[in-house]
Structure 1
Amino acid sequence: MSELLLSFETSSPVCSVALHRVNDGSLVGQSELRLEKSHSSHLSVLVSQLLENSGYSLSDLVAVALSDGPGSYTGLRIGAAAGKGLCYALDIPLLAVSTLQSLAYQVAAVTARPEQFLYCPMLDARRMEVYAALYTHDGQEVLAPAPLLLDADTLAEQLAHHQLLCFGSGAAKFQSVLANSSQAGFISGIVPSAVAVGALALEAYRRQEFRDAAYYEPFYLKEVYTTTPKAK
C-alpha cells in the first residue's frame, strides 16, 4: 500500500492539488485550474481525477495538507472544509502550511545563490494594502505575516540592509510606489501552488505537527470584509 500526502492550494484564484510520496518526498502528480471562483465546483473533481490518473485511491492517503492562508476568505474556507471532511472520513491527520511561506519556498528553490536574498511574498489585499512576510532562503521567518499599507517607506529598514525579492499578486503595487530601489527585485507570474504546500507539509508530517481537524480554522490574518446591502 502506498503512503501519499494530498495537498490543496485554494487561497487564490488558482485551484491546485498535488500528491507526494511520504517515504521519499517525490512528487507523484499535480493538477490546477486558473479560473475565478472554480474551487467549490472543481476541487473535488481535481482530486478524484489526479488520484485516478496516478493509479491510486483515497485509501492510499495518509494525510491531507492545506494552504493555511492568508488569502481569499472563500477559497480558504472551501479548502478547509474539503480537507477536514477527508480527514474525518479516512481517519488521517491534517496539516496546514502558510501560503506566504510556500510562495517563498517556490522562489527560493529556483533562485541562483538564494542565500543572498530575503524573500518577500505579497498577496493583494485591496487598494494599496498587501499581506506580506519575509523569509530567508531556508524558510526562516524574518518578518511575520502581516497586512502592510504600501508607500515609499514600506520595508525601508529591511531594504537598507538586505536585498529583497518581491513576488505574488501584490508585488506590482509595491513596485509602483518604490523609487527604483537597487535593493529590491520583482518577479512576476508567481502564484500559489499545491506542490510547494505539499513539499513543506512533508516536513511537518515527519515532525508530526498535525492540526486538530475538529477546530482548525484558516489563518485569515484579517476579518472577512462584508458590506450591508443598501435599503431600496
Structure 2
Amino acid sequence: MPVLALETATLVSGVALATESALLAEWKLETTKTHSELLLPHIEMLLQAAQVEKQQLQAVAVSLGPGSFTGLRIGLATAKALAYALGIPLIGVPTLEALAYNCPAPGLLLSPFLDAQKGNVYQGRYRIENGRVVEAQPPRVIAFRTALEELIAAG
C-alpha cells in the first residue's frame, strides 16, 4: 500500500508515491506558479501515472518545515484534508531532518540548509546513529555566512 508524500516547504513543488521498499512515482517542479495552483493537479497526475487510486493510499506524509510559510500552510492543509477524507494517517516529516536522512554518513555532522531569504538560511545539524537521524542542533534561522563559519570552526 503506497504512501503519498507532499513537499511544499520551498519553491519546488514535490509529490511522490512510495511503499516501504520502493519509490513508485515522483513529480517535482520549480515554477513561478504557487503551490495552491499546482499541488492538487500534481497529486492527480501522479496517481494517474502510477495507476493508484486514492482509496489505495495507506497514509499521507507532508513536510513540516522550516520553509515558506505559505507553501507549508498549503501543503499541510492539503495533506490534512486528504488524510481526513480518506480516513488514513497523516505523517509530519521535519524538512531538514528528511534532507539529512538522504545522506547516510555515520559519524559525520550533517548540516542541511534551506534558503530563508535575505542572506539567511534555515539550518539544522544531525548525525546518523544506528541508521537513524539524531538531532544535534534544532533547526534555526541564521546568516548563511555565519553558518558556514561555524561549520568550518567545528571541523
Structure 1 residues 137-165: Cα deviation after superposition (integer angstroms, max 9, x where no partner): 34111111111234458663x54444xxx
Verify the 8 A CA contact 1:13 1:37 in the aligned structure 2: no
Deviation at 1:4, TM superposition (A): 1.3
Deviation at 1:72, TM superposition (A): 0.5
Relative distance call for 1:39 and 1:150 in structure 2 (3 A) is closer
Superposition pairs of residues 197-208 of structure 1, within 5 angstroms: none
Structure 1 residues 185-226: Cα deviation after superposition (integer angstroms, max 9, x where no partner): xxxxxxxxxxxxxxxxxxxxxxxxxxxxxxxxxxxxxxxxxx
Task: Give structure 2 stretches of 5+ with no counterpart.
Answer: none
Correspondent of 1:48 among 44, 49, 58: 44
TM-score of the aligned structures, taking structure 1 as reference length: 0.60
What is the match of residue 65 of structure 1?
A: 61
What is the match of residue 130 of structure 1?
A: 121
C-alpha distance in structure 1 between counterparts of 2:117 and 2:146, whole Å? 18
Relative distance call for 1:86 and 1:149 in structure 2 (3 A) is same
Q: Greater relative contact order: 1 or 2 (C-alpha under 8 angstroms, separation 6 or more)? A: 1
C-alpha distance in structure 2 between counterparts of 1:59 and 1:5, whole Å? 11
Relative distance call for 1:148 and 1:80 in structure 2 (3 A) is same
What is the match of residue 139 of structure 1?
A: 133
Structure 1 residues 22-44: Cα deviation after superposition (integer angstroms, max 9, x where no partner): xx431111111111333111111
Correspondent of 2:34 among 27, 38, 41: 38
Matched, 1:9 2:7: yes
Q: Secondary structure at the match of 1:120?
A: coil
Correspondent of 1:148 among 137, 142, 149: 142
Verify the 8 A CA contact 1:130 1:148 in the aligned structure 2: yes
What is the match of residue 74 of structure 2?
A: 78
What is the match of residue 17 of structure 2?
A: 19
> Over alpha carbons, which structure has the higher Rg?
1
C-alpha distance in structure 2 between counterparts of 1:29 and 1:152, whole Å? 38
Task: Give structure 1 stretches of 5+ with no counterpart.
Answer: 163-232
Structure 1 residues 13-62: Cα deviation after superposition (integer angstroms, max 9, x where no partner): 100001112xx431111111111333111111111111111111000011
Q: Secondary structure at the match of 2:81?
A: helix
* 2:134 alignment partner AA: Q
Q: Secondary structure at the match of 1:139?
A: strand
**Aligned residues: CA RMSD:** 1.9
Structure number with higher strand proportion:
2
TM-score of the aligned structures, taking structure 2 as reference length: 0.88
Verify the 8 A CA contact 1:9 1:66 in the aligned structure 2: yes
Verify the 8 A CA contact 1:69 1:76 in the aligned structure 2: yes
Instruction: Give the percent of matched residue pairs that are identical in Structure 1 and Structure 2.
Output: 37
* 2:113 alignment partner AA: M
What is the match of residue 187 of structure 1?
A: none
